[in-house]
Amino acid sequence: MNRRQFVQLSGMGAAFLSSRLAQGKIVSAEDLLMPGMDGSAKKHLADTALNAAKSKGATYADVRIGRYLRQYFFTKEMRVENIVNSESYGLGIRVIANGTWGFCATNDLSLDSIAKCAATAVAIAKANAEMQEEPVILAPQKGVGIQTWKTPITKNAFAIPVKDKIDLLMKVNGEAIKNGATFVNSNLFFINEQKYFASTDGSYIDQDVHRMWPTFTVTAVDKKAGKFKTRDALSAPIGMGYEYLDGLASEKMSILGKPTVYRFSYDMVEDAILAAQQAKEKLSAKTVVAGKYDMILDPSNLGLTIHESVGHPLELDRVLGYEANLAGTSFATMEKWESKTFEYGSKIVNFVADKTQPNTMAAVGYDDEGVPCKNWDLIKDGILVNYQATRDQVHILGEKESQGCSFADSWDSIQFQRMPNVSLQSGKEKYSVGDMIRDTEKGIYILGRGSSSIDQQRYNFQFSGQLFYEIKNGEIVGMLDNAAYQSNSQEFWNSCVKICDKDDYRLFGTLFDGKGQPGQSSAVSHGCSTSRFNGVNVINTGRKI
């Protein structure tokens, strides 16, 4: 594709630009492929910032030089509504002075501006020190010198011609309509974070992070009956390149002839065809009878439940009260962890935090405090054994080094504790989804992400889904509608009786997990295999107005 074709297609979207989504300067698609500043130039700017901060009295300083590239596609039926190409570039400096954090950011990368920004960060720290009850205690982190890291992709999504992406979405929409959808919206989201980190510890780390998410919603309307139903894509937001859209048959699974699910390669067109057919089927689905059911939850559904009922409650900043005014605190309090006996789940429940797992969205080489990434147990044989923490928190856990959970969503945002990939470990014995359905007498099999809500300490939750299949005596007997499951996080994970093996392991995730004031979003993946939870309360959400 030549420059003019790029401009043509990117300009079409820019005309409908949503500044909230763009989060940066609008650029042509080809600008997204331009190389950023080279490493030596970044090091020069970073050293300027670090030296300026130290000269003003900082006892510690780190600097992040970020280039954030985004390309988003929005379509409706056979129209391209919007394409957003954006670039955001600048530098953020964080310091400790008088035992208190200070921060300043600028998009002016002149040496004078950087020095001024560093001085401002130190001044803010000193001003806020008056209200500081305890000084910041930072876990030691040996400098790692000059390092680079890149998401292992095989196809850079930004190098794929815009026209090819539009052709794909038009095919998705066309096939959905051909197969019974009344309306269809489809989207592609591509993100590339080029992040340079340096600190007074002696680290200079250049990272190139790629993430993507293809998705859609089809709607089937029955005007005569006054009803409409939707079905969202069963894709996963993922830490991969454009190769995720190759649609490899080897990564596809059909469950007892009913739904089709995808592992590390997604067939968007096929899923849209199935979605259209299933949305129509939902219009005449049987309304669920409220009561207790054995729930079989596909990773495309269970992933969100993991995120809300395990990922968030084990964030140490929440446990300590730093998020109390917005996101809330946590039921997984320190004394429960200290007891070493708190039964978070049944004995088969094992959760691992892992920022090194391939294809996941929180995978990086180093976090935004320069800490090398790793993995560790959160829940072992059902017992709560650890949290997620940053350099200034980890001493509270009696640990000598950070767990590497610091992240900022932009160069002008302050890094703070964000969730790593939090994943449920697969069952050790060979056990398929088909086996699980055959072993269930009265159950509901749920796929896809639906409505979700959980309280501010992460006890009481209610989740819905995209597809609900009724199971009677080991067989899928039909589709259900208006179902949502309610539980308490601890009760729910203690009702986990069976987990399929690693052959069924798939990823779920979110590109836009919100937290903090001012709000920031982060991307994270949750892996698991299909799991069964016995005796869960199901409610009927059907109402009339």
Partner 1 sequence: MEILTREEAKKIIDKVLAFSKADEMSVELTGKRTGNIRFARNSVSTSGETYNLSLSITSVFGKKLGTSTVNEFDNASLEKAVRRSEEVARLAPENDEYLPMPGPQKYPESNGFLDSTAKLDPAQRAKFAKDSILTVRENKLTGAGFLEDSSGFEALGNSKGLFAYNKSTAVDFSITVRTADGMGSGYGSGDFNDSTLLDTKVSTNIAIQKAITSRGAKGFEPGKYTVILEPTAAGELISFMISAMDARTADEGRSFLSKKGGGTRIGEKLLDERITIYSDPSDKDIPAKPFSSEGLPLEKVVWFDKGVVKNMSYSRFWAKNKGVKPILQPEGFIMEGGTESLADLIKGTDKGILVTRFWYTRWLDPQTLLYTGLTRDGTFYIENGQIKHPVKNFRFNESPVIMLNNLEAIGKPVRTRGNMVPPLKIRDFTFSSLSDAV
Does 109 sit near partner 1 (CB under 8 A)? no
151 versus 215: smaller Cβ distance to partner 1: 215
Interactions with partner 1, residue window 282-321 (CB under 8 A): 320-321
Residue 177 to residues 180, 219, 230, 281, Cα–Cα distance (Å): 5, 9, 13, 14
Q: Which is nearer to partner 1, 307 or 355 (CB)?
A: 307
If one asks whether residue 124 binds partner 1 (CB under 8 A), the answer comes out as yes
- In the complex, the smallest distance separating the C-beta of residue 234 from partner 1, rounded to whole angstroms, is 20
Using H for helix, E for strand and C for coil, what is the string for 42-109? HHHHHHHHHHHHHHCCCCEEEEEEEEEEEEEEEEECCEEEEEEEEEEEEEEEEEEECCEEEEEEECCC
Of residues 449 through 468, those in contact with partner 1 by CB under 8 A are 451-460, 462, 464
Residue with Cβ nearer partner 1 (211 or 229):
229
Distance of alpha carbon 389 from alpha carbon 520, whole angstroms: 17
Nearest to partner 1 of 10, 388 (CB atom): 10
| 527 contact partners, CB below 8 Å, separation of at least 6 | 299, 303, 357, 360, 421, 423, 424, 505, 506, 507, 508
**CB-wise, 265 or 456, nearer to partner 1?**
456
Eight-state DSSP code of residue 110: S
CA distance 256 to 477: 11
- Tokens at residue 443, please? 């159950």
Query: Counting Cβ atoms within 10 Å, is residue 142 exposed (0-12), middle (13-18) or buried (19+)?
Result: exposed
The residues, any chain, with a CB within 8 Å of residue 250's CB and separated by 6 or more, are 265
Enumerate residues 259-288 that contact partner 1 by CB under 8 A.
Answer: none
* Residue 113 found at the interface with partner 1 (CB under 8 A): no
Bridge partner residues of 96 (DSSP): 60, 101
Residue 20 touching partner 1 (CB under 8 A): no
Q: Which residues contact 494 (CB under 8 A, 6 or more apart)?
A: 343, 344, 345, 346, 382
Using the rule CB under 8 A, give the single segment among 131-139, 205-213, 255-263, 352-360 that binds partner 1. Answer: 131-139
Query: Which is closer to partner 1, CB of 260 or CB of 537?
Result: 537
**Coil/strand/helix, residue 200:** coil
322 binds partner 1 (CB under 8 A): yes
- Residues of span 404-443 touching partner 1 by CB under 8 A: 412, 414, 416
Q: Candidates 100-108, 250-258, 383-391, 526-534 — which segment interacts with partner 1 by CB under 8 A? A: 100-108
Residue 289: CB minimum distance to partner 1, A = 16
- DSSP for 298-316 reads -HHHHHHHHIIIIITTTBH
Nearest CB to partner 1, comparing residues 521 and 541: 541
517 is an interface residue for partner 1 by CB under 8 A: yes
CB of 309 to partner 1, least distance (A): 12
Handedness of CA 20, 21, 22, 23 (dihedral sign): positive
Contact at 8 Å (CB) between 419 and 318? no
Contact window for partner 1 (CB under 8 A) among 128-136, 156-164, 432-440, 498-506: 128-136
Nearer to partner 1, 241 or 345 (CB): 345
2 interacts with partner 1 by CB under 8 A: no
Rounded least distance, CB 239 to partner 1, Å: 26
Least CB distance to partner 1 at residue 450 (A): 9
- Per the DSSP assignment, residues forming a β-bridge with 82 are 74
Q: Total number of residues binding partner 1 (CB under 8 A)?
A: 77
Q: Which of residues 74-93 bind partner 1 (CB under 8 A)?
A: 79-80
Q: Is 14 a binder of partner 1 (CB under 8 A)?
A: yes
Could you tell me the CA-to-CA distances from 526 to 76, 304, 515 in Å, in that order?
A: 29, 8, 17
Place of tokens 């680290």: 203
Type of residue at 23: Q
Q: By CB under 8 A, is residue 185 in contact with partner 1?
A: no
- Please list every residue from 190 through 249 that binds partner 1, using CB under 8 A: 219, 221, 223-228
Taking CB under 8 A as the criterion, the residue among 175, 323, 354, 369 binding partner 1 is 323
